[in-house]
Amino acid sequence: MLLTKIKTPLLIVTAVLLCSALPLFAQNDIVTEAEVSWLTGDVTISATAEIPVSTTNITSERFRITESIDRGLTAVVTEAFEGIYLDSLQTLKEGFTSNGRMMGEFDNLNLTKTRVSSSLSLDLDHVTNIYKYNIFDELIPILPAHKRTTPPPVLLNYEPTAAFSGVVIYAADHLPYYGEAERGRLNQAIFPKIFDEEMELVASAGMADPEYLKKWGFILYTDSLNEIQLEERIGLYPFRTTAEGVFGNNHTDILITKEAARKILYNESNRRLIEEGRIVVIVAGP
């Protein structure tokens, strides 16, 4: 059964964007690609620029392009972040560019960042630089939701439930988009929210312990379930439920039934699963 077993390939999300507007690279359009592993939190950024056909010294031009991308790293990587959702309203790029403090801290991070590699294509017509970031221990501390603002809601009425070791939500199917006449896939985000069918908030990153956010993020997305790989996160006896719909401008927030929400929220040990980010969401594979 998909919710309980077996092989989990690393889920990768890829975004390709053209950054031709960056003034630093007036002579070279930069194409960026971001690959996100939601399991490890690693973000691999590649930045590729063409070598002009008029170039007479390829070695010198390669060095110039490589160093130019390094110097403009914040601008280059921020463009690549357009393909990564921060939450239901913003991409990661929008989150950074709309917040001067965040952009300043990200720029400071890039002062110490070194490229993983730089390569020249076999046909000698473009240069590619590779950089790596980690969502959990590098980016989340910069984001505003890394500080807990509110605890999970407490239910006053009795709800028969049990003490679970984690939460698993199956959301791999095409789901109705709340408030729209369409159905579609759930999009992954760094800080999604979970609501019940009456649009009462069940879980958000603002309810999570900052130390757990920096350890493994708020929600783990996977397109399969490997119990050995995920046991530390959701234990042996997780609560399993199915997403009923998708909410938000970016289609990142999850709707579950009222009954499922109550089983998670009724007792303190289950509310702690939200605080510790012990939530896995099963999504469709690439």
Its pTM stands at 0.86
What b-and-e string marks burial along 165-204, b requiring 16 or more CB atoms within 10 Å of the CB? bbbbbbbbeebbbbeeeeeeebbbbbbbbbbbeeeebbbb
pLDDT score recorded for residue 150:
83
pLDDT score recorded for residue 229:
78
Closest CA to 89 of 252, 206, 249, 247: 249
d(CA 34, CA 17): 9
pLDDT score recorded for residue 15:
52
Q: What distance lies between CA 175 and its chain's CA centroid?
A: 20
pLDDT score recorded for residue 189:
96
**Structural contact between residues 203 and 156, judged by C-beta atoms closer than 8 angstroms:** no
pLDDT score recorded for residue 53:
78
Domain residue ranges of the chain, discontinuous segments joined by +: 12-144, 146-282
Pairing of strands 239-242, 167-170: parallel
Pairing of strands 253-256, 194-196: parallel
pLDDT score recorded for residue 5:
24
Return the SS3 of 266. Answer: coil
**Structural contact between residues 115 and 130, judged by C-beta atoms closer than 8 angstroms:** yes
pLDDT score recorded for residue 58:
84
Low-confidence ranges of the chain (pLDDT < 70): 1-28, 145-149, 156, 158, 225, 227
Cα 45-47-53 angle, rounded to 5 deg: 165
d(CA 246, CA 96): 25
Closest CA to 232 of 280, 264, 171: 280
**Structural contact between residues 45 and 77, judged by C-beta atoms closer than 8 angstroms:** yes
Question: Partners of 127 in the beta sheet?
Answer: 49, 120
